[in-house]
């Protein structure tokens, strides 16, 4: 799904005409700033957005119906896939609220199960857990949604609407009529689903008796249905979901060295952030005697990784540069007697592309008894082998593994040679819930079949882009694993057939050149990375607008431009980038 004609319309989904797009068009520097500042000329045009930050229209629609049906006065809601996840949201809100006493309620609903084998191709029993809270606490609820990444999938919301919307609308009408003294005959409001703290699920009757196809939820978008049929040759069949998940686990395990991983040690999550959040929950609870110890965030990470380590558990030691000197400082701290729960790092980091010395970290972990969690999203397991030096490897499958920018997912892999393996596996056996929505699994399985080949193309294209920037007089700094001071540490974990991946960041000598380059480059512009098409963004503005001075301390320049290199023909891609560089050069000379 390469973007042959990238949209330049503010708020349009990336890719174009994609109902469940992961990225969104912010075509100019000014529009990106406007979005971060909440300016109407940008915000009101947003049709889409990165799903953990921008709640999808289908999720909003479902939430509004649930609020009209079940909310008490002054309440809003958030929707999660299971009761256990909803309880975590509730616990977070109660721990962080400024209210003297916060009342949070949880409602559970399910759609009807399939009646027979024929229905199993288009119907599943879908569960949701709805968290109701005072409207004033919505920003706090949104924090959990963003940081933990465990919110309901937009496809699950769409499916739930297709199964339950009619019933919810009828219940709303009845409530209004009943409130206004109207007469609807002998009809009774369906039994109110269970609300409270118990583990019982309320089974809502749903709207049964209607025949459907799996494309029914997408029927309002015939072009998209046509695309799916043309691409995959047939309609999606929900009965294949179990097999799709099995194939995904095998595909992910197959990228790891066999002596460290197997498919039964791969766990799927609805987002990459959820895999990181659950990895933290894993070490926090499986190594419970260490729960009062801080963790270490080593290297400047993606924003919500640091948020998780700050807001859950005992806190965090932050070594933002992630270099040899930082590791020396950490070792000095450990030698002085400080104990830690776990070290979290990215390999390499986003957006600075710094690779930690995983071999030395591994030795320190064995010496000072702490767990190591590595996020290999940017390097991706077709290029690097991080698992031998980690207890847990997490990855955002939304990125290169999928490539199509139309599905969210994450994975966690346990290292069976980890010193903590028995305890980690026991916890996952007892506590893991498969919250990965069935339709998302089918999309991801199909998207990822050729991910190694796509990764190789991105690797080659990135080297050509690197040379272009190295030859440009406008560029001050380039951040890429092969030209980083930490190259030797990347090479230490790089597979023989691997490359340096597709993510690159640059800083222009003159900030006005960065703005001109970004505004004129004829490529997709928005959040996310790892897409099959090249995706560009002013990263610090987009991810750290409220803390630009703070991130500057860690080398993240406010004018940094990040490029996720895609699969366009190399000469075409270089020509487009050169055109934008030339434009910036011309402006600079005026």
Q: Write the DSSP symbol of residue 382.
A: T
CATH code linked to domain 238-450? 3.40.640.10
Task: For residue 508, give both structure tokens.
Answer: 């222009």
CA–CA separation, 443 and 445 (whole Å)? 6
SS (H, E, C) 44-98: CCCCCCCCCCCCCHHHHHHHHHHHHHHCCCCEEEEEECCHHHHHHHHHHHHHHCC
Q: Are 347 and 375 in contact (CB under 8 A)?
A: yes
Q: Helix 241-253 vs helix 438-447: angle between axes, to the nearest 10 degrees?
A: 50
CA–CA separation, 566 and 530 (whole Å)? 7
Q: Which residue has the tokens 């990225």?
A: 23
CA–CA separation, 294 and 316 (whole Å)? 5
Please state, in angstroms and as integers, the Cα–Cα distance from residue 421 to each residue in 96, 277, 309, 578, following that order.
32, 19, 22, 50
Q: Parse the chain into domains and list their residue ranges.
A: 57-231, 238-450, 451-589
Question: How many other C-beta atoms lie within 10 A of the C-beta of residue 329?
Answer: 14
* Beta sheet of 535-537, edge-to-edge order: 475-479, 503-508, 561-564, 535-537, 524-525
Q: Are 546 and 580 in contact (CB under 8 A)?
A: no
Q: Single out the residue of 518, 504, 507 nearest to residue 556, CA to CA.
A: 507
Q: Single out the residue of 326, 370, 253, 377 nearest to residue 485, CA to CA.
A: 326
Q: Write the DSSP symbol of residue 384.
A: B
Task: For residue 545, give both structure tokens.
Answer: 């607008």
Q: Encode the chain (590 residues) as per-residue pLDDT tens digits.
A: 444 578 889 999 999 989 999 999 999 999 999 999 999 999 999 988 888 988 999 999 999 999 999 999 999 999 999 999 999 999 999 999 999 999 999 999 999 999 999 999 999 999 999 999 999 999 999 999 999 999 999 999 999 999 998 888 888 887 777 666 544 333 333 333 333 333 333 333 333 332 222 333 333 444 444 444 334 434 679 999 999 999 999 999 999 999 999 999 999 999 999 999 999 999 999 999 999 999 999 999 999 999 999 999 999 999 999 999 999 999 999 999 999 999 999 999 999 999 999 999 999 999 999 999 999 999 999 999 999 999 999 999 999 999 999 999 999 999 999 999 999 999 999 999 999 999 999 999 999 999 999 999 999 999 999 999 999 999 999 999 999 999 999 999 999 999 999 999 999 999 999 999 999 999 999 999 999 999 999 999 999 999 999 999 999 999 999 999 999 999 999 999 999 999 999 987 76
Burial tier of 464 (Cβ tally within 10 Å: 0-12, 13-18, 19+)? middle
Q: What is the pTM of this model?
A: 0.91
Please state, in angstroms and as integers, the Cα–Cα distance from residue 376 to each residue in 123, 240, 404, following that order.
35, 28, 19
Question: How many other C-beta atoms lie within 10 A of the C-beta of residue 214?
Answer: 23
Cis peptide before 59 (omega within 30 of 0): no
CA–CA separation, 312 and 304 (whole Å)? 12
Taking the CA atoms of 27, 377, 530 and 242 in sequence, report the sign of the dihedral they define. negative
CA–CA separation, 46 and 56 (whole Å)? 10
CA–CA separation, 68 and 400 (whole Å)? 39
State the pLDDT at residue 49.
85
Label the pairing between strands 23-24 and 13-14. Answer: antiparallel
Sorted by sequence, the CB contacts under 8 Å of residue 534 that are 6+ apart come out as 461, 523, 524, 563, 564, 565, 566, 568, 573
Q: What are phi and psi of 28, to 5 degrees?
A: -135, 160
State the pLDDT at residue 321.
97
State the pLDDT at residue 173.
82
CA–CA separation, 411 and 466 (whole Å)? 30
The angle at the Cα of 563, spanning 539 to 412, to the nearest 5 degrees, equals 80
Q: Are 112 and 208 in contact (CB under 8 A)?
A: yes
Q: Single out the residue of 237, 241, 295 nearest to residue 268, CA to CA.
A: 241
CA–CA separation, 465 and 571 (whole Å)? 10
State the pLDDT at residue 79.
98
State the pLDDT at residue 235.
61
CA–CA separation, 9 and 576 (whole Å)? 19
Same fold across 238-450 and 451-589: no
State the pLDDT at residue 169.
85
CATH code linked to domain 451-589? 3.90.1150.10
State the pLDDT at residue 120.
93
What are the respective helix, strand and coil percentages of the chain, to the nearest 5?
45, 15, 40
What number of CA atoms fall less than 13 Å from residue 505's CA on the CB side?
22
CA–CA separation, 221 and 17 (whole Å)? 9
3-class DSSP state of 303: helix
Q: Are 492 and 484 in contact (CB under 8 A)?
A: no
Q: Are 405 and 260 in contact (CB under 8 A)?
A: no
Residue count of the chain, please give it.
Answer: 590
């Amino acid at each position: 799904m390469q973007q042959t004609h990238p949209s330049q319309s503010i708020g349009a989904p990336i890719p174009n005409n994609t109902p469940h797009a992961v990225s969104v068009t912010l075509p100019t520097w000014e529009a990106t700033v406007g979005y971060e500042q909440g300016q109407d000329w940008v915000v009101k045009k947003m049709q889409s957005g990165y799903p953990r930050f921008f709640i999808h229209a289908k999720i909003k629609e479902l939430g509004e119906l649930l609020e009209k049906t079940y909310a008490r006065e002054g309440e809003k809601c958030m929707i999660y896939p299971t009761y256990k996840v909803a309880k975590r949201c509730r616990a977070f809100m109660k721990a962080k609220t400024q209210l003297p006493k916060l009342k949070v309620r949880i409602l559970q609903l399910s759609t009807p199960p399939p009646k027979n084998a024929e229905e199993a191709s288009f119907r599943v029993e879908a569960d949701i857990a709805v968290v109701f809270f005072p409207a004033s606490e919505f920003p706090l609820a949104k924090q959990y949604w963003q940081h933990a990444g465990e919110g309901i999938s937009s496809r699950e919301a769409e499916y739930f609407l297709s199964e339950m919307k009619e019933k919810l609308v009828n219940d709303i009408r009845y409530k209004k009529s009943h409130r206004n003294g109207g007469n609807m005959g002998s009809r009774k409001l369906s039994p109110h689903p269970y609300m409270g703290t118990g583990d019982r699920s309320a089974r809502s009757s749903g709207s049964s008796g209607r025949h459907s196809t799996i494309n029914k939820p997408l029927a309002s978008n015939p072009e998209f249905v046509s695309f799916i049929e043309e691409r995959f040759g047939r309609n999606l069949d929900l009965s294949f979901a179990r097999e799709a998940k099995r194939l995904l686990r095998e595909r992910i395990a197959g990228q790891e060295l066999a002596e460290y991983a197997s498919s039964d040690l791969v766990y799927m999550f609805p987002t990459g952030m959820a895999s990181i959040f659950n990895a933290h929950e894993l070490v926090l609870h499986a190594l419970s005697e260490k729960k009062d110890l801080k963790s270490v965030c080593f290297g400047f990470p993606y924003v919500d990784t640091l948020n998780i380590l700050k807001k859950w558990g005992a806190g965090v030691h932050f070594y933002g540069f992630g270099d040899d000197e930082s590791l020396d400082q950490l070792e000095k701290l450990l030698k002085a007697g400080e104990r830690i729960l776990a070290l979290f790092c990215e390999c390499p980091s986003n957006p600075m592309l710094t690779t930690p010395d995983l071999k030395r970290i591994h030795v320190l972990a064995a010496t000072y008894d702490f767990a190591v969690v590595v996020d290999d999203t940017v390097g991706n397991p077709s290029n690097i082998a991080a698992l031998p030096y980690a207890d847990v490897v997490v990855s955002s499958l939304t990125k290169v593994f999928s490539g199509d920018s139309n599905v969210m997912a994450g994975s966690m892999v346990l290292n069976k040679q980890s010193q903590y393996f028995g305890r980690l596996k026991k916890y996952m056996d007892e506590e893991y819930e498969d919250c990965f929505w069935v339709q998302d699994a089918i999309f991801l399985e199909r998207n990822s079949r050729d991910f190694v080949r796509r990764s190789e193309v991105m690797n080659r294209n990135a080297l050509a882009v690197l040379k272009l920037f190295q030859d440009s007089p406008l560029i001050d700094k380039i951040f890429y694993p092969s030209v980083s001071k930490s190259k030797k540490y990347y090479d230490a974990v790089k597979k023989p057939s691997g490359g340096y991946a597709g993510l690159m960041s640059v800083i222009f000598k003159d900030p006005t050149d960065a703005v001109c380059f970004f505004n004129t480059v004829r490529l997709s512009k928005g959040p996310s990375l790892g897409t099959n098409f090249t995706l560009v963004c002013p990263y610090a503005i987009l991810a750290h607008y409220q803390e630009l001075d703070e991130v500057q301390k860690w080398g993240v320049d406010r004018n940094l431009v990040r490029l996720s290199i895609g699969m366009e023909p190399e000469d075409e891609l270089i020509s487009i980038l050169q055109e934008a560089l030339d434009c910036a050069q011309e402006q600079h000379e005026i």
